[in-house]
């Protein structure tokens, strides 16, 4: 598919790929590796009922990590087939857009926004939702693809042609993320966000390709110009509600509760 093909980043692709979410060597294999890398930056739950909101949860690949760390895992996504899969893995699956999340302010001890900032028209609006959902002192973890020529070449021109790479057409390089703009927005929104680069371990990748490893570890890089991750804490500018104990599935001021996938 050409770089500027209008079918790029079509959400319907996730329906066609619905059976791939939990395939360790399927089209979403790298998302499993990234989920494990995200989990390294999430502190264990400080209290019973602590909430991890997973924005654009897809098939719920964060589920084993959220459970191990002691969180109630609430996943938000637009794609119903992904949400159904997430629910099968224990996620409280809520249908909604990451641009206007149907959950209450400050309901989350942790917000994860993995591989979604580069799939929306307004990544800063998603970051604003992360800030709104987090309680003061709560943790944000993100990862995305940088808006650089190198990232476009690697993620689209190269990887889409490699068997076992990301599904062709899943990324639109026009939506890749401007890191400087993201960091400036984070600061305005009261988020102390730090970014670093990520790459798969080459040794693990070779072993995985040969069927000798089930998964591939992600390595940290100083270079953020292709795949980058970030974590941070929401500054405690208002009185903290304290960890845990929130009812996340109700947006303040909203007349009707959001759609929970059952
Ligand atoms: C590349 S997948 C990442 C899934 C998951 N975060 C992971 O890393 O396994 C992108 C996800 O974003 C979702 N998505 C895209 N735009 C969205 C939006 N505006 N609101 C909610 N979900 C969205 C898609 O449905 C898909 O599940």
- The Cβ of residue 29 has, within 10 Å, a number of other Cβ atoms equal to 19
Closest CA to 173 of 161, 186, 157, 184: 157
How far away, in angstroms, is 27 Cα from ligand 1 center? 14
Specify if 166 maps to a domain: yes
Classify residue 33: in a domain, yes or no. yes
Q: Is residue 257 part of a domain?
A: no
The pair phi, psi for residue 140, each rounded to 5°, is -110, 135
Residue 249 belongs to some domain of the structure: no
What letters, b where the CB count within 10 A reaches 16 and e where it falls short, cover 206-241? eebeeeebebbebeeeeebbbbbbbbbbbeeeeeeb
Per-residue pLDDT of the chain (262 residues; tens, 9 = 90+): 788 777 788 888 899 899 999 998 888 999 999 999 999 999 999 999 999 999 999 999 999 999 999 999 999 999 999 999 999 999 999 999 999 999 999 999 999 999 999 999 999 999 999 999 999 999 999 999 999 999 999 998 888 887 767 788 889 999 999 999 999 999 999 999 999 999 999 999 999 999 999 999 999 999 999 999 999 999 986 444 556 555 677 665 554 567 888 7
- Does a structural domain hold residue 246? no
User: Per the domain annotation, does 8 fall within a domain?
Assistant: no
State how beta strands 72-77 and 92-95 pair: parallel
Residue 194's CATH number: 3.40.50.150
The pTM for the full model equals: 0.92
82 lines ligand 1 (CB under 6 A): yes
Instruction: State the distance from the centre of ligand 1 to the C-alpha of 5, rounded, in angstroms.
Output: 20
The reported pLDDT for the residue numbered 240 is: 47
Please work out whether the CB of residue 99 comes within 6 Å of at least one atom of ligand 1.
Answer: yes
Give the total number of structural domains in the chain.
Answer: 1
Nearest CA, atom 25, ligand 1: 79
Instruction: Report CA(129)–ligand 1 centroid distance (Å).
Output: 15
User: 255 lies in a domain?
Assistant: no
Coil/strand/helix, residue 155: helix
Give domain status of residue 240, yes or no.
Answer: no
**Do 29 and 96 meet the contact criterion of CB atoms below 8 Å apart?**
no
Ligand 1 site, residue 17, Cβ cutoff 6 A: no
Range of the domain at 171: 13-231
For 93-128, how does the pLDDT look when each residue is reduced to its tens digit (9 = 90+)?
Answer: 999 999 999 999 999 999 999 999 999 999 999 999
* Ligand 1 contact via 114 beta carbon (within 6 Å): yes
Closest residue to atom 1 of ligand 1, CA basis: 115
In the chain, DSSP assigns E strands to 51-55, 72-77, 92-95, 108-114, 134-145, 191-200, 218-221, 227-234, 259-260
| Dist. CA 170 → ligand 1 center (Å) | 11
**Ligand 1 mean position to 50 CA, how many Å?**
23
């Amino acid at each position: 598919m050409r770089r500027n093909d209008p079918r790029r980043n079509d959400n319907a692709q996730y329906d066609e790929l619905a059976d791939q979410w939990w395939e360790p060597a399927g089209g979403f294999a790298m998302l499993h590796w990234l989920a494990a890398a995200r989990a390294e930056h999430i502190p264990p739950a400080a209290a019973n009922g602590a909430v991890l909101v997973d924005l654009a949860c897809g098939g719920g690949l964060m589920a084993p990590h959220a459970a191990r760390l002691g969180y109630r895992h609430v996943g938000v996504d637009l794609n119903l087939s992904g949400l159904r899969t997430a629910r099968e893995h224990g996620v409280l699956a809520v249908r909604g857009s990451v641009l206007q999340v149907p959950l209450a302010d400050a309901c989350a001890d942790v917000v994860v926004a993995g591989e979604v900032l580069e799939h929306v028209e307004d990544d800063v609006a998603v970051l604003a939702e992360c800030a709104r959902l987090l309680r003061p002192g709560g943790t944000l973890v993100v990862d995305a693809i940088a808006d650089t020529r190198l990232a476009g070449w690697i993620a689209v021109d190269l990887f889409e042609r490699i068997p076992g790479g990301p599904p062709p057409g899943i990324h639109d390089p026009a939506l890749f993320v401007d890191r400087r703009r993201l960091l400036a927005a984070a600061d305005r929104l009261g988020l102390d966000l730090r970014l670093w680069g990520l790459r798969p371990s080459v040794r693990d990748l070779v072993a995985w390709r040969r069927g000798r490893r089930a998964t591939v570890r992600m390595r940290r890089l100083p270079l953020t110009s292709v795949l980058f991750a970030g974590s941070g804490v929401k500054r405690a500018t208002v009185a903290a509600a304290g960890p845990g104990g929130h009812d996340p599935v109700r947006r303040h001021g909203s007349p009707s509760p959001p759609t929970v996938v059952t």
